[in-house]
Structure 1
């Protein structure tokens, strides 16, 4: 499991090759220990890294491999089922997304709302995945609703189990929805909140760049969009 933690750190640092190396090591260690579910947790990291690196086919392969090693209805299986839903959304596989998201939402009713740690699953993570998924599918009003729900929940978390990265991603998903719905000022406001979090890990930087491209396409002459674009350039240089 230490290798899985190191894979997450490599993901935060934008080191995809290092992510792959630690995930492979986790599989090998898990086999030697007779605990194949370690591989399922490794594939959860690998799937996330591939999605944020715009490699959805690799993400699909990782989620599928992970589910093959996860115990039925275990926290790893629930996480990977939710991952599978957003991968299919990214690939615009509507039917497969619908199938996976129904399963994910059934699971959501059986897990805590938030604050369960790295090797567990909570309901707000599934909601935040919905925000990304509906955005990729072009259902921007649903994406906005899911993002707002996730943000409200993340802001309610106190103590050591806060989730600043997940909050920032939800805020950027909200910003993407605002941009698509013709609300550039709201989009920039939400994005600036995300970037003030101090958690400029690779996933946040990547989503901010994606938002910047979207805003420049949707609202190329808007003054706030131009100002935000310069802010993103400086923050991600």
Structure 2
């Protein structure tokens, strides 16, 4: 009892006035507590290979995005997203928690694009927002910016250009000026301005995209082992093609669409996207239609719909093409064949 009182008194008056024996005892006890503190912060229910497996899974899903049917990839990505949600509720270290938050965000970013491809803007927007929030929680600015790139595209196709501009600006605040994503986000804002019919706004935003492209380093960063530079090159060619169509600048649209198709042809096979190529062909078709060349437009429309990946955005643009041909070239009977293919 007396010894306990002495220890308690020493704790109250501090080590300064304690005897050497009591001081040594207190320090030994503190050392044991420090070991326990360390054990608690390192305690985790995650297996040693869990995070490595998640990294491999997200890499494979990212690679499969343009190669496999979107419904199939969506199911796989959603299954992994649910697994990560369970892991986030389990016992893990702080560092592991940040990594899990990032993997959750990356999976939701992919799910946003896949939902958009499958025709669900609501699900796409929800997953894009989820990716942004998880990126914020993980302290991962680039993930936040990728999420807003998806949100911008979804809002453009849903005829909400003001929201697309807001998403692009939000993304730009999260990423460095020399990252290829900066090019995409400025180009997204330019495309949204064109959708509003704002030619001056388009020109200003697109100049910012071109300036950002000129500042890119010789070796841009990768994303899950893949070069992201082609995504910037696509944005700097295909987005202005679409924009010039909306602004009624057919000749410029034709030039940009041709450059976009040449960019895809020159890209490594793994970096090509059948759906993006199809959209570039539809933009080129619309340019020909606006220039009074419906036959060339219909041929290109068929080529686009022969793509291995006719997703929601491709169908959306193909509807624009058939609608324009019906308005401007109502006697063109070949349009019906294109319309039938689109229905199929």
Shared fold (TM-score greater than 0.5)?
A: yes
Residue 285 of structure 2 aligns with which residue? 175
Q: 1:226, 1:133 → 2: CA distance?
A: 26
Mapped contact 1:175–1:186 kept (Cα < 8 A): yes
Residue 129 of structure 1 aligns with which residue? 239
Q: 1:211, 1:52 → 2: CA distance?
A: 15
Among 130, 152, 164, the residue aligned to 1:47: 152
Local SS of the residue matching 1:72: coil
Q: 1:189, 1:118 → 2: CA distance?
A: 32
Q: 1:179, 1:51 → 2: CA distance?
A: 22
Among 150, 161, 165, the residue aligned to 2:271: 161
Residue 73 of structure 1 aligns with which residue? 178
- Specify every segment of 5 or more residues in structure 1 that has no aligned partner in the other structure, as ranges: none
- Does 2:169 correspond to 1:59? no
Question: Greater CA radius of gyration, 1 or 2?
Answer: 2
Q: How do 1:10-25 and structure 2 match up within 5 A?
A: 10-25=115-130
What's the CA shift string for 1:96-123, capped at 9, x where partnerless? Answer: 21111112122333458xxx75855432
Mapped contact 1:144–1:173 kept (Cα < 8 A): yes
Query: Which moved further from structure 2: 119-128 or 166-175?
Result: 119-128
Q: What is the TM-score when the length of structure 2 is the normalising length?
A: 0.63
Q: 1:60, 1:118 → 2: CA distance?
A: 26
What is the deviation of 1:176? 0.8
Q: 1:69, 1:107 → 2: CA distance?
A: 15
Q: 1:139, 1:159 → 2: CA distance?
A: 31
Q: 1:186, 1:110 → 2: CA distance?
A: 37
Q: Alpha carbon RMSD of aligned pairs, Å?
A: 2.0
- Does 2:114 correspond to 1:4? no
- Identify which of structures 1 and 2 has the higher relative contact order when contacts are C-alpha pairs closer than 8 Å and 6+ apart: 1
Change (3 A) 1:5 1:155: same
Residue 152 of structure 1 aligns with which residue? 262
Q: What is the TM-score when the length of structure 1 is the normalising length?
A: 0.90
Query: Which moved further from structure 2: 91-100 or 182-191?
Result: 91-100
Among 287, 296, 305, the residue aligned to 1:186: 296
Change (3 A) 1:22 1:118: farther
Mapped contact 2:183–2:236 kept (Cα < 8 A): no
Runs of 4+ in 1 over 6 A off after TM superposition: none
What is the deviation of 1:226? 2.6
What's the CA shift string for 1:126-160, capped at 9, x where partnerless? Answer: 11111111111111011011111111221233431
- Does 2:203 correspond to 1:93? no
Count residues with an aligned counterpart.
Answer: 232
Mapped contact 2:172–2:185 kept (Cα < 8 A): yes
Change (3 A) 1:195 1:229: same
